[in-house]
Chain A
């Protein structure tokens, strides 16, 4: 459509002449007609002009020249170039990023930083990607997240390898990539070596519960499924449900179900699922875990009405002590802060396995990056965007983030010397216990539709509401996975 804008400019120049001439002779009917016609003439090219906005772009604007590479400026940032940073203004707020921007401004006093925070990532930035004038650093998060697969597939993102190989902010002898938590770099890759995304927050997924509630039942967190059922039975006798979950968004269930599958059958099972391999879901480990969860429903251990609750409602019921366990991520501590009682003693555990014959030890947990930061390929100052990320990945900035928003960051460490909230403390302990056994299923960032509405809502949600048996759910989900594998309109990815 790019050509229309050029054609449209020609009639534009001639029309003003007609209109100015007529004004001097007063308003005859003839003039009126002429004028209206003139307006009509203008409106047609304007149409062309507007349409040109929709999907054509310049993108030829000059990139900022590289600056001088020094020990303090390893990415060779041009110290006079403007850097634009758009942040998702969500659960983590914007203060942590503003603090990091201040450091950037101190380091490059001549550079202008344009910082903005919005919840409407897609609506504000999609047109700018289409025009080829995206900002230099984006926190592509929230409900309006732009599809990463498409951005990567259409070569819209810059490879962050220079950032990862640059010396870290705190220790010039250590590369940035060596200061990160496990899985962060891999998560930013889609196919092959380039790293497109830098996940800044670090989320621990698992089974969340109140230590106090468990103690009042004389129980400890169950490590095998028989123990799990025993704890739930004990709770049931006291009128407490064993489990609840975000019934309206059943794609919260995988937060404990997927790592359980990984623990029972080994990481290969999860990789096969992510790779959309034929019959990946028919693995015995998947079947065992589905049946285990279905038993919770069968025995009446799931809070009544759960399939009609959204995430907030289920978390509230759980915080009020109506249910013991909830599959969730570490954001729950912040999100439900106003309903979690002060003496709740929030804790997270790696999911319960089946028994001692499981492939991986108890403690196997799902942890991965959150808050995906990207540097657009067509940004004018890519080096500036990456430098801003390097600042944020310093120990001081990471600590600032953790103490302000109660979440870990991709920076490995950064928890010494600050007081951690109960949930965060328990998350750090769970990560320590897991050691190398951290799994990272990718369906939720590779195939959003498959993960959320197909596996989540139509598969797991239906099974946990008792409308599908485990065998039926597996068959249905395998069908969806095969469909996705065949769909040529979706880009496919594989574990490296």
Chain B
């Protein structure tokens, strides 16, 4: 029977792989093909134009701006979100003071309440979150400036989304707010599987919270952190960043191109300007960036797996 093994495995894999090829690989191939044409997206006629779209892309200032912003998103967002989420998860699960008669390892007081609160934003759709924050950032009657006025800071009334120096950070803050809860829950689950006796041993040796976190929690959680990192990066390069930029920002994509990202530019070229072929070209660039990001994180994060 040995000789039929591979055929048997292939037999099982053929359907999922076929579906994967149909709905994932094939669209990729198609877009790469269209990026060599001058297809408008509004009529069935098009012709091959070779590398024209790519040449154009390399000369396109807006493309470079959007690439820069996308890279910044992919770099800053995972860093901030995951650090915050790790901190919160640690405090919720491990960081509490030892209480008389309680378990050795416990979270801060009220941790189960915090866990629910952090997860709330995850329940809201990203479009609603973006709209809510668009109202909050309203310089005239929004919540944030009203708060500043309320505490006597009448002279500090930033334009938020209307200010090219602030707009991108405003958008990032929203994404952090809306995604951090998911990672808190993810990391909490990971921390729950770390055996308590490891912590006990550390405590006996006199380790403080910081030492416990860096010497025990983080190394044992590394796999989860790594996949969280990739997930967050892809999210920051893809749909989520599009939604917030499209809904919240000036233009959208501004002011003065200060918040434009690659996905938004793909959308605008394909569906506003009727240049579907050029949009797919930018899409190919986005694919390259995303793959490079994932490869980089996997490579840098490679460590020996710890068994426990």
A156 with B140: CB separation less than 8 A: no
Across the interface, which residues of B come within 8 angstroms of A307, CB to CB? Answer: 139, 159, 162-163, 250, 255
A304 with B140: CB separation less than 8 A: yes
A149 with B274: CB separation less than 8 A: yes
Q: How far is the CB of A256 from chain B (nearest CB, A)?
A: 20
Q: How far is the CB of A88 from chain B (nearest CB, A)?
A: 15
A29 vs B1: C-alpha distance when bound (angstroms): 11
B42 with A147: CB separation less than 8 A: yes
Q: With A248-B161, A449-B272 in contact, do A129 and B43 touch (Cβ < 8 Å)?
A: yes
Across the interface, which residues of B come within 8 angstroms of A130, CB to CB? Answer: 41-44
A35 vs B284: C-alpha distance when bound (angstroms): 36
Across the interface, which residues of A come within 8 angstroms of B160, CB to CB? Answer: 308
Which residue in A39, A247, A248 is a CB contact (below 8 Å) of B14? A39
Across the interface, which residues of A come within 8 angstroms of B43, CB to CB? Answer: 129-130, 150-151, 154-156
B139 with A309: CB separation less than 8 A: yes
Q: How far is the CB of B181 from chain A (nearest CB, A)?
A: 27
Asked if B296 is an interface residue, CB under 8 A from chain A, the answer is no
Across the interface, which residues of B come within 8 angstroms of A54, CB to CB? Answer: 30
Binds A, one of B4-12, B86-94, B187-195, B227-235: B4-12
Interface size of B as a range: 35 or more
Asked if B40 is an interface residue, CB under 8 A from chain A, the answer is yes
DSSP class of A's interface residues: helix, strand, loop or mixed? helix
Q: With A57-B44, A146-B274 in contact, do A308 and B14 touch (Cβ < 8 Å)?
A: no
Residue of A nearest to B34 (CB): A55
Which residue in B44, B161, B255 is a CB contact (below 8 Å) of A55? B44
Asked if A259 is an interface residue, CB under 8 A from chain B, the answer is no
Q: With A305-B145, A465-B159 in contact, do A122 and B271 touch (Cβ < 8 Å)?
A: yes
Q: How far is the CB of A329 from chain B (nearest CB, A)?
A: 19
B8 with A305: CB separation less than 8 A: no
Interface code B145-169, partner A: CB below 8 Å = 1, 0 otherwise? Answer: 1000000000001011111100000
A449 vs B17: C-alpha distance when bound (angstroms): 41
B163 with A36: CB separation less than 8 A: no
B11 with A305: CB separation less than 8 A: no
Asked if A339 is an interface residue, CB under 8 A from chain B, the answer is no
Across the interface, which residues of B come within 8 angstroms of A144, CB to CB? Answer: 271
Residue of A nearest to B161 (CB): A308
Q: With A39-B15, A39-B18, A151-B42 in contact, do A457 and B137 touch (Cβ < 8 Å)?
A: no
Q: How far is the CB of B217 from chain A (nearest CB, A)?
A: 41
A99 vs B64: C-alpha distance when bound (angstroms): 50
Across the interface, which residues of B come within 8 angstroms of A153, CB to CB? Answer: 40
Q: How far is the CB of B128 from chain A (nearest CB, A)?
A: 16
Residue of B nearest to A154 (CB): B43
Q: How far is the CB of B93 from chain A (nearest CB, A)?
A: 40
Q: How far is the CB of B45 from chain A (nearest CB, A)?
A: 6
Interface code B29-64, partner A: CB below 8 Å = 1, 0 otherwise? Answer: 010001000111111111000000000100000000
B138 with A150: CB separation less than 8 A: no
Given contact pairs A37-B11, A43-B19, enumerate 9 new A-B contacts (beta carbons under 8 Å): A39-B18, A50-B26, A156-B42, A306-B140, A307-B162, A308-B137, A308-B250, A448-B273, A489-B275
**Could you write out 17 A-B pairs with CB less than 8 Å apart?**
A29-B4, A32-B8, A37-B14, A43-B18, A129-B42, A130-B42, A150-B40, A154-B42, A247-B250, A248-B161, A304-B140, A305-B139, A306-B139, A307-B250, A309-B139, A309-B162, A449-B272
Q: Which residues of A does B touch, CB under 8 Å? A: 29, 32-33, 35-37, 39-40, 43-44, 46-47, 50-51, 54-57, 59, 122, 126, 129-132, 144, 146-147, 149-151, 153-156, 247-250, 303-310, 313, 317, 322, 448-449, 452-453, 456-458, 461-462, 465, 467, 489
